Amino acid sequence: MTHPKAVRRGRRTLVTDLLGWEGPLVKQITGVLYPEGEEERFAWTLEKLRALWSGPEIVSEPVPFTTTDYYRDIAPRLLRRFVSFEELVPAGGLAGWKRQAIDVEAESRTPRAVNVDPGYVDGARLVLASTKDHAHRVYLRDGIYAEVTLRFRFGKWVSFDYTYPDFADGLYSDFLTKTRTAWLRSCNHQ
């Protein structure tokens, strides 16, 4: 039986909050870190995320991840790819997406074989979810924080003083711009 406040969107039914709204519609994205030379790990992760969220719309090329050794528990040499998903979804789902991503990481192996960082893109910003608190992050729920990592201003992605160096360097700007364009196109067809 469907909840009386449920809203049907694509393959998913979303139950709205007490106000009847879960936030603006956004393009869900995720970054995936995985061991270099193990494309099957990325493919496995993508299938898990497809089952949870929706089909991939844009998949970036792999980029060597050399910014930090924080993820050395995964492998000494890592690649990062980004994925945006087909459907527009309410931004209020961000904390839930991060919890699902943590479950996918745990399922990959012990210790984890992948790192999955969900977020979203809209016309003005890239927002990422984190389990780590910091002065520039806002608590959402269930131990999950949100961070505006980049903003889109005057036709380009602009960083903040706290933005991760690989994002600030524009390494992912092409992917983000394509995703923003897909968001705009989807909003125009609503």
The CATH number of whichever domain residue 147 belongs to comes to 3.30.70
Q: Is there a domain that residue 2 lies in?
A: no
pLDDT, residue 4, reads: 40
Q: What pTM was computed for the model?
A: 0.88
Task: Report the distance separating Cα 108 and Cα 85, nearest Å.
Answer: 21
Q: Is there a domain that residue 88 lies in?
A: yes
Residues of the chain with pLDDT > 70, as a percent, come to 88
Q: Is there a domain that residue 127 lies in?
A: yes
Task: Report the distance separating Cα 124 and Cα 18, nearest Å.
Answer: 27
Phi-psi sector, 10: left (phi>0), alpha (psi -120 to 50), beta: left
In residues, how long is the chain? 190
pLDDT, residue 138, reads: 97
Q: Is there a domain that residue 17 lies in?
A: no
Q: Is there a domain that residue 9 lies in?
A: no
Does an H or E element contain 187, and which?
Answer: helix 173-188
Q: What are phi and psi of 45, to 5 degrees?
A: -60, -45
Overall domain count for the chain: 1
Q: Is there a domain that residue 11 lies in?
A: no
Q: Quote the crossing angle between the two packed helices 94-108 and 39-52, to the nearest 10°.
A: 140
Q: What is the mean pLDDT of residues 160-183?
A: 97
Encode pLDDT of 1-10 as tens digits.
Answer: 333 444 445 4
Q: Is there a domain that residue 10 lies in?
A: no
pLDDT, residue 11, reads: 46
What is the extent of the structural domain holding 131? 22-188
Confidence check: pLDDT of 39 > 70: yes
